Every structure is written in structure tokens, then in C-alpha cells.
Structure 1
Amino acid sequence: MAKGPEDFERRPHPQGWVQPKAPYNPYDPTDVRPAEGYPSEFDAPSSVKKNTGKIAQDLTDYQKIKIDMKRLKYYPRPPSELYPGRYKVLRKVNHKSGFLRGAELTAKLSIYGFVGFGVFFYKWNDNENVFAPFRRFQLRVKEFLLGGLSTDDYNDVYNYKKDKMIPQRPLPTIMYEQNEKKQLVGEDATNNEFIKDRFGNKHVVYAEHITQKEEESMLKAMELAERELELKKMREGLQGSDVKPVWKFW
């Protein structure tokens, strides 16, 4: 049986029906929920938060109340005492004192200043490092503005050695012996680009011992040479004193 046009007309509201507020605010005592429910309660599940399925039973459940209020776009505003029917304008109050703002600004400027100084204006070492390109850029700018550089700065910009080896600290004896057991030192066949043959403390001590012996032998040789010169001078002096002059008769 075909439906007539009267069946498509909107049915009248039931007795006592009140125009609902949308969306429904469960924390507003004046917002009475109708028996049929509000349209906002039938949203898609993807648009509803997990913890908004039930009303917060405890007023200390601030997280649930905060999410519900954010979803309802409800911001509590106290009513105005001067203008009836209107609300007070809530302004953001800056609770930071002048000292805290100054301390925060000083800390930020100090951090940025130290970083900028360490990257651009400080020479960390005489070898190639991650900050070397930034320092060369700073020196080029200085050369462009001032028209010249000192000898050391000029060499840092144009005459630096890319392949200069970075000095390494010697390994402790225990670590060096462990590397020897693992065959990581001593032979070209076991060394590759990923393994560094670092020397140990015992090699440093042995090299210093050899250097000390060479210095001692050099000092002894110098002392012997000086003694020979002194003896030679003494002999020459004695030989000269034995020869009597011709004009002396006694």
C-alpha cells in the first residue's frame, strides 16, 4: 500500500517537549535531558573519546571532565555582576615576575652565546674537526670586513692540512693485551679501515726509556769532549811553561 503525502509530514512534538540545548552538557543542572536523547549522543564512535562514555562520578576526575568540556566546547564563565545576562571576560594573567623573566632571558642568551662562540669563534684544536668549517667561514667574513688576517688565521683558512692525524691517547696495558689476544694489532692483515692499531702505555714508557738513554749518552759524550778539551789546554800550557826564553840566563 502506497504511503500518502500526509505520512511524510512531521509529527507534532509530544506534550511538555522543550527545545534541547546542543550539545548536551551533563554538568549543567539546568540542561534536562529529554527521554528521546540528544542527537549529539549518536555520533560516530571514532569521534568520541574513550573516557567520555560515562559521566564523571567524582568531581576530582579532572581528566574526564576536561576532555568532556573540550568536546562540548564549554568554557565556564562567571556571570557579570555589573551587566545582568552577560559574563565576565576572563583575561590571561601573567604570573611570572620580572626576576623570573630576566633569569629566563639571561639563561637563553647565555646558552645561545656559548653555542655560537663554541661553533664559530673558538678554535678547538689544530686538527680537522666538526667545527672547523664554521670557524673558516667566520675567518672569511672577518677577512672580508677587515681586509686582512693574522698569520695563524690565514693558515687556518687556506693552508690547513686535511690529512693531519689527530693525536691519540695510549691504551692501558690491559686493553692492549686484550686486543693482542683478539688479533687486532700488530699485522697489516688484521687491520682494516674499521680497526685502529693504537699503541699502549708500555710503548710510551719504552720510548721514553730509549729517549732518556740517548740523552744520557749524549750528555756523557759532551762531558768527555769537554774534559778532553780541558786536558788538551792543560797539556799545551805545561809544554809552553817548560820552554825557557833565550834572553834568560838563570
Structure 2
Amino acid sequence: MNSHAQSSGISPVLLSARVVWLEITRREQYFALLILMGLYLFFAVGARLAGNTQAEAVALLLNMGLWLASALAAVLTLISSVRALPMEMEMQTLYPLLAKPVARGEILLGKWLASMLAGWLCFGVFGILTVLTWTAQFPLPGQSMQMFAQSIPLQLAALGLLASSGLLLSLLLPPSVSILIGGFLYFGGGLVSNLLMTLMRDSRLSLWIDALLQYLPQFSKLCLLQRFTDGAPPLSWGEWSLLLIYSIGVTFAFLGLANRLFDRRSL
């Protein structure tokens, strides 16, 4: 496989990524994402053709569409990243790719890139279709285009962080457990963290809980599309830059940990 990569000019990173992309196109479960988004678009276009363009209805449908686009992209990213390595280790298809001089880090990087880019594509296509459906009313009164522009890079960064989290979890836990934990952190981690800190505010354990929560990825701080549709003001560029730097830093920290675990894994 390595000699083939060298002769064809394809790097091991891209070969590793290609396996993930092929798996996505082959699995019927992934087409459920297309069906869900198709149902939303059918309903939204029907509402528009029926003349239901009141601000409240459009805001609800726009919020639903953008949330659905980001949520489906997150599901695709998480499942792809969690399944990538265990599937190939089980099928023993990694051996040709791991022939010298291919490093395991290159394989890991390919899986991360493939999972992240799949999520980006899903979010981009579904997000654009949602905005185009309501292009005549977009943005609604009170919604900030600056906030929208800030939310897009942070949403993409959140998907990159989710992909690295999925790879790391897949090297520590079974795939099903990894998907549950990753999904919980992405969709409910912020809410549970705030609830814990509120309940334990006066407890002696509050400092320990706060310190522990700092090591968990803060997806709720990166996913700002809800704030945009709610009409929240934009972030300061300093705060936005810190969030972007945070997401990139944690992403590569998780990739480094995953690479260390993968290097020590006997295949």
C-alpha cells in the first residue's frame, strides 16, 4: 500500500482519509441524515410557498434549519471519527498502511481530516440550503450578520474538536460508549456543567468540580448559531479570537494524546 501511495503520488494521510470517505458513502445509516434534512427542507419550502412568512414563523424555521444542519454535521463527524480506527483494526486493514516508512500519526491525521471535512461538507451544504430557503427574509430584524459571520468559523472549529475527541475516545472505550460520551459532551455538556456548578456552588467540592470541568471540551461556547437566531449581539473580536485559539489548541492536544495511545496500541 505504501509503494502504491508513493507511485501514485497519494500521501498516506489521504489514503487513510479515503477509507473513511468510502465508508460514509457505503453505510446506509448515513443516508438517514439526508432524509432528515430533506424532510425539513420539504416542510420549510412548503411553508414559504403557502405564504407563511411571518417573522415569528420564519425565525422558528430558520433556527430549526441551522440547528439541524449543525447537529447532523456533528453526528456525522462523531460517528465517522469513532468508527474509523476500531473498524480498520478489527478488519486488519491497517497493516498495509502501517508498512514503513508510514507513521501511525499519519494514519490518525487522515482519519481526523476525513471525519472533520465530512462534517464541514454536511454543515456547509445543509446550512446554505437553509439560508437560501429564507434568503428573502435573511437576516431577520434584530439578527446580527457579524454574529453570523463569527459563528461559522467557530462551528467548523467545534467539528474539528469533535473529530479529535471521537478519535481519542475510540482508543480508550468501545465505539458505542464513545459515541454516547461524545454526543453527551457536544449536545449537553454545557448545560450539565452549568447545572453542576450551580448545585455545588457552596460545596467544598466546587473548586475540584470546576477544575475537572476545565479539562472537558467546551462545545457550548463554540456553537453560537442559536445566539445568532435569538438576536444576541456579536462577540468582541478579542473574545472570538480566544475561543478560536482555544478550540484549535484543545483539538491538537487531543490529537497528540490519541497519537500517543495509538503508538502504544498493539495491532
Query: TM-score, normalised on structure 1?
Result: 0.23
Higher helix share: 2
Which structure has the higher relative contact order (CA within 8 Å, separation 6+)? 2
Query: TM-score, normalised on structure 2?
Result: 0.22
Larger Rg: 1
